[in-house]
Structure 1
Amino acid sequence: MATTTRRALLAAGAAALAVPHITAEAFAAAPPRGEAAPAWYRFRHGGLEMTVVSDGPLPIRPASSGFIGVDQAEMEGLLRANFLATDHLPLEQNVLIVNTGRQLILFDTGMGNSMGAASQMFGPTTGRLLANMRAAGIEPAQIDLIALTHAHCDHCWGLVDANGAKVFPNAQVAISEADLNFWTDDANKRGPEFMTAFIDGAKKNLNAYRDRMVMARDGADIAPGIRAMAIPGHSIGHTAYAITDGGQTIINSGDISHHHVLLLQRPNWKFAFDADPDQAARTRVRFLDMVSNDRLEMLSYHFPWPGNGHVLKAGEGYAWVPSPVRTLL
């Protein structure tokens, strides 16, 4: 069998250019649309219907600003080796909605628009959850329970609108008590500059649901088949949720790892938005070991769309294997 070489491909391209141009009577010049398709993806998990909805990309610029004490050349080398840009990290926001047949459960709410200009601190590409939910046939008033992994801006600022009104008027909100207390306490406005905005936003969004809070406790179910798992470090009360049905388990892992290359291949690197970077790294390694050893599927909030896949041990770190596309048929 002949081997296709780069030279042969270039020669074929040159030959194609030599073919006489074929014209037609009418080719309308269609302008670029400048818009993307609604971003939602639906699949079965046991007997549950799972819908992943995008809140839009959340870029970190420059890429180095997302890490503490990391060698710049090593980071850029890892990104280039995986065909990724080196000047920024285009994180996704993969919001999960689970239809159990009795309840619609939403996991995190994206950036929203509750905090005005601060809601676009990562740029204008976020805050698309509601439009994409509606494109997927889901209305905010249908949500029964919101399970928050933690109270950072990109996870809870979509609870209320700019006027402070509940976006999900019929929903309860599950959150760890530690995160609820920490992120609604003005005394914690210290340290990094972003802390003041984070706390002001958490107070505005969480306090609106104070009368309908459910405490997510480690090892306890927040709904049948949905169990809370404490994974502290990124936030004091950071919580994952194991969703089990029909003998199958998928773990909504929140922000256990923000990047499918950098924080898997280098799981001990310190992420700049971690409350306790050392604890977060230890928790990350334990969690990734568990999902890898037990071959559990994982839904990651910030991994490439739609965020579900498996983790494999690879050298001193891990590798990400996205799940094949699944249909409802």
Structure 2
Amino acid sequence: MQVTTLSDGHLTLPRSLLFASLDPEAVDQILQARGIAAGPMHPPLNVTLLRHAGRLVLFDAGSGPGFQNTAGQLTAALDAAGVTPDEISHVVFTHCHPDHLWGVLDDFDDPLFPNAQYLMGEAEWAYWFDPNTASTISGDRASMAVGALRRLEVMEERLSRFGDGQEILPGVAAHASHGHTPGHMSFELRDGQQSLLIGGDAIGNHHVSFVQPEWAIGTDQDANLAAKTRLRLLDMLSHDQMQLIGYHLPKGGIGRVEKAPTGYRFISSFEE
């Protein structure tokens, strides 16, 4: 397996979106210790590309042209990697938030990856494909639900669904990591003795969610379940010394997790 990450750019998010329910002084202390300046947050967007057994597989599809102007750079990143969109054989989704799903369509609302098969967890599909979700989800997320449904309708005929623990491609197993969204999935890659977890947004940042993984994060739809999932994954990753790719983690998102005096720490592969 050859695994790399491609940048789709970054987001610009107000701190209140992430940390509104937390003690501002405690959050600032964690962020300042990691050199993160005051003001909006700028999480990177790391799309994983897997080359294996004649397949070119993307995990998530980036933001596309209609989300934020600092994002939607996946096509340029693919070009820099020597890959054209029509060479992508599979697109596997962790979940249906805009920065992971909306990039499946191009500027003309046509499929960007014309030859790809799509794969998504059954629970995630069922939630976002339900037309009632847009009216029952919190008001600030309704447009996300409408945008997700439109893209799922385009992909429906070429999309396969799967459950927890299922081997979806050779060497790639689905790992339920619900909470950030109702059906969020991570993916465990194994090649010989080496293993790696593509974690999506189950561990959504390298600072607060590592130091205090039990704290609620505002972008998690079910914050309590997401915190339990986060703790379980961090414990597994540190205990098993499994590599991690996080969609919003720094420096390409590839690294490992180790225990710290308080919580855990993320060690980027570029720092080792």
2:54 matched to 1:102?
A: yes
Q: Equivalences for 1:113-132 in 2 at 5 Å?
A: 113=65, 116=66, 119-120=67-68, 124-132=69-77
Structure 2's unaligned 5+ residue stretches are none
2:98 matched to 1:153?
A: yes
- 1:97-140 CA distance string (max 9 Å, x none): 10103110000011102xx4xx12xxx21000011111110111
- TM-score normalised by length of structure 2: 0.95
Cα shift at 1:56: 0.1
Alignment match of 2:267 (pick from 306, 314, 321): 321
Cα shift at 1:59: 2.0
Q: Equivalences for 1:132-171 in 2 at 5 Å?
A: 132-171=77-116
Structure 1's unaligned 5+ residue stretches are 1-47
- 1:37-82 CA distance string (max 9 Å, x none): xxxxxxxxxxx22221100011212x23212410011111111111
- TM-score normalised by length of structure 1: 0.79
Alignment match of 1:225 (pick from 171, 174, 178): 171
Residue 206 of structure 2 corresponds to 260
Q: Equivalences for 1:60-71 in 2 at 5 Å?
A: 60-61=13-14, 63-71=15-23
> SS of 1:271's equivalent?
coil
Separation in structure 2 between the aligned mates of residue 145 and residue 267 of structure 1, nearest angstrom: 32
Alignment match of 2:242 (pick from 296, 313, 325): 296
| Identity, % of aligned positions | 34
Q: Pick closer, same or farther for the CA change 1:164–1:219 going to 2, 3 Å.
A: same
Aligned length: 271
Alignment match of 2:194 (pick from 248, 255, 279): 248
2:223 matched to 1:277?
A: yes
Q: CA RMSD in A?
A: 1.5
> SS of 2:12's equivalent?
strand
Cα shift at 1:315: 2.8
Q: Pick closer, same or farther for the CA change 1:199–1:290 going to 2, 3 Å.
A: same
Question: Which has the larger displacement, 187-196 or 228-237?
Answer: 187-196
> SS of 1:210's equivalent?
helix
Supply the AA of the counterpart residue of 1:58: L
Separation in structure 2 between the aligned mates of residue 325 and residue 174 of structure 1, nearest angstrom: 33
Cα shift at 1:324: 3.8
More helix by share: 2
Cα shift at 1:316: 3.8
> SS of 2:30's equivalent?
helix
Question: Which has the larger displacement, 164-173 or 182-191?
Answer: 182-191
> SS of 2:6's equivalent?
strand
Supply the AA of the counterpart residue of 1:184: F
Separation in structure 1 between the aligned mates of residue 234 and residue 187 of structure 2, nearest angstrom: 14
